[in-house]
Amino acid sequence: MLDLSSDDITEGPVLRALLVLSAPLLVQNVVQVLQQVIDLFWVGRLANADAAVAAVGLVMPLQALVFAVAVFIPLVGTQVIVAQRVGAEDVPGARRGVATGLLTAVGLGTTFGLAAVAIAPALIDLITDVRPGAVVEMVETQATAYFSVLMVGLPLLTLADTTESAFVGWGDSRVALYMNLLAVGINAILDPILIFGFDNNPAFAALGMDGIAASLLGATGFAGMGVAGAALATVVGYSLGFVLGLSLVLARRNGGMLSGDAFRANVAEFHELFEVGLPMAGQQAAKQIADLVLVVVTFALGGAAGLAAYFVGYRVAGVAVIPSGSLQQAAQSVVGQNLGAGLVERAREATWRGAAVAAAVLGTLGLLQWFVPGTIVGVLAPQLEGRALDLTVRYLRILAIGYPAIGATYLFQAGFNGARRTQTSFVASLLQYWGVRLPVALVGGLAFAMGVEAVFWAVTVSNAVAAVGLGAYYYYSAENGMFDRAATAAVVE
| pLDDT at position 85 over 70 | yes
Summarize pLDDT for 102-117 with one digit per residue, the tens: 999 999 999 999 999 8
* Statement: residue 485 has pLDDT above 60: yes
- 236-253 mean pLDDT: 91
Does the pLDDT at position 365 exceed 70?
Answer: yes
Question: Which are the contacts of 244, defined by CB distance < 8 A and separation ≥ 6?
Answer: 178, 179, 182
- What HEC string does 292-346 produce? HHHHHHHHHHHHHHHHHHHHHHHHHHHHHCHHHHHHHHHHHHHHHHHHHCCCHHH
pLDDT of the residue at 1: 47
Q: Which of 168-177, 196-205, 460-469 has the highest mean pLDDT?
A: 460-469
| C-alpha span between 294 and 445 (Å, rounded) | 11
Kindly indicate the confidence band of residue 129, based on its pLDDT and cuts at 50, 70 and 90. Answer: low
Predicted confidence (pLDDT) at residue 467 exceeds the cutoff of 70 = yes
Tens-digit pLDDT profile for residues 160-195 = 999 998 888 887 878 888 898 899 899 989 999 998
Is it the case that residue 307 has pLDDT exceeding 50? yes
Structure confidence at residue 218 (pLDDT)? 85
Mean pLDDT of the chain: 85
Query: What is the pLDDT averaged over residues 337-361?
Result: 86
What would the mean pLDDT of 87-101 be, rounded to a whole number? 86
Q: What pLDDT sits at residue 464?
A: 96
Nearest to 324 by CA among 77, 64, 10, 33: 33
- Show Cβ contacts of residue 310 under 8 Å, excluding neighbours closer than 6 positions: 57, 294, 295, 298, 302, 395, 452, 455, 456
Q: Which of 128-137, 332-341, 393-402, 456-465 bottoms out in mean pLDDT, i.e. has the lowest?
A: 128-137
Q: Which of the given ranges, 251-255, 381-385, 450-454, 477-481, has the highest pLDDT on average? A: 450-454
User: Between 469 and 224, where is the model more confident?
Assistant: 469
**Integer Cα distance of 419 and 413 in angstroms:** 10
Phi and psi for 255 in degrees, rounded to 5? 80, 5
Q: Side chain identity at 100, as an amino acid letter?
A: T
pLDDT score at 19: 80
In the chain, what percentage of residues exceed pLDDT 90?
27
Please tell me the predicted confidence (pLDDT) of residue 443.
94
Task: Say yes or no to pLDDT of 389 above 50.
Answer: yes
Judge contact between 224 and 200, C-beta under 8 A: no
pLDDT at 338: 81
pLDDT of residue 134: 47
Average pLDDT estimate for 95-102: 90
Over residues 139-167, the mean pLDDT reads 90
pLDDT tens-place string over residues 269-297: 898 899 888 887 887 788 778 888 888 88
Q: Is the pLDDT of residue 342 over 50?
A: yes
Top-ranked range on mean pLDDT: pick from 44-53, 348-357, 366-375, 481-490: 366-375
